[in-house]
Amino acid sequence: MGLVIRTTAELAAITTILLLILATPLAWWLTRSSSWTKDLIAALVALPLVLPPTVIGFYVLVALGPDSPLMALLHPFGIRTLAFTFEGLVIGSLVYSLPFAVQPLRTAFELIGTRPLEIAATMGAGPLDRFLTVVVPLARRGFVSAAILVFAHTVGEFGVVLMIGGAIPGETEVLSTRIYRLVESLDFAAAHRIAAGLLVFSFVALFLLFLADRRFSALER
């Protein structure tokens, strides 16, 4: 059980860190861009919100399989497939949780407006300097919300991780797939213990999210 918890925590932590890095420039571009492709990219980013997890899991599984053009690029490096591996789980989690990182960041960036950036520009700050010293501090609410949502969402993933990882004990099995296996074996008592733990975790995560949002609102007054 300890290994399953560790795998789940590692998957959620790695996904959260990577998505904060990847989603930040994407959310900033969606906020500032006037390109005709903006709505197209925004729709693609939000797609995991409406697609069944098994659909996402299936296509990611195909993309990570040994016969996919994507994996063919890695064959010279001795990597034939990432399906049914922890690395594959991370990739699937990045796709599935992407909107939970982008949307809070995009909302936070939009609330900043252009005035603070214009003031920083008149003081000689370059684009990167303006982003790091003005945008990031002012958007801290968005970063905290994104981190909490992505971590909690990743912990609760089921369809995607089951399709991509196959719930291999000791390798790709996480808490959600352990519940599924326990129910299949009719061990409802053990399944209930894990499910109750995830219920409490989800409640605490949402409580912390609302608490952080309230605190930031108070500081901004």
Residue for token pair 């809070």: 104
Tens-digit pLDDT profile for residues 145-159: 999 999 999 999 998
Tens-digit pLDDT profile for residues 82-105: 989 999 999 999 999 999 999 999
Residue for token pair 């300097």: 129
Residue 178 has pLDDT above 90, yes or no: yes
pLDDT tier, 217 (very low <50, low <70, confident <90, very high otherwise):
low
Please state, in angstroms and rounded to a whole number, the distance separating the CA atoms of residues 178 and 216: 37
Annotate 43-87 with three-state secondary structure.
HHHHHHHCCCHHHHHHHHHHHCCCCCHHHHCCHHHCCCCCCCCHH
Tens-digit pLDDT profile for residues 47-80: 999 999 999 999 999 999 888 888 888 888 888 8
Residue 144 has pLDDT above 70, yes or no: yes
Residue 172 burial (CB count, 10 A):
22
Predicted pLDDT at 212: 82
Please state, in angstroms and rounded to a whole number, the distance separating the CA atoms of residues 36 and 82: 34
pLDDT tier, 218 (very low <50, low <70, confident <90, very high otherwise):
low
What letters, b where the CB count within 10 A reaches 16 and e where it falls short, cover 92-109? bbbbbbbbbbbbbbbbbb
Indicate the average pLDDT of the chain. Answer: 89
Predicted pLDDT at 129: 81
* Domain ranges for the chain: 2-58+87-220
Residue 113, SS3 per DSSP:
coil
Predicted pLDDT at 187: 92
Residue 120 has pLDDT above 90, yes or no: no
Domain range 2-58+87-220, its CATH number among 3.90.580.10, 3.40.50.300, 1.10.3720.10, 3.30.70.20: 1.10.3720.10
pLDDT tier, 113 (very low <50, low <70, confident <90, very high otherwise):
confident
Find the mean pLDDT for residues 182-190: 92
Please give the residue that has the higher pLDDT: either 50 or 167. Answer: 50
DSSP per residue, 85-98: SHHHHHHHHHHHHH
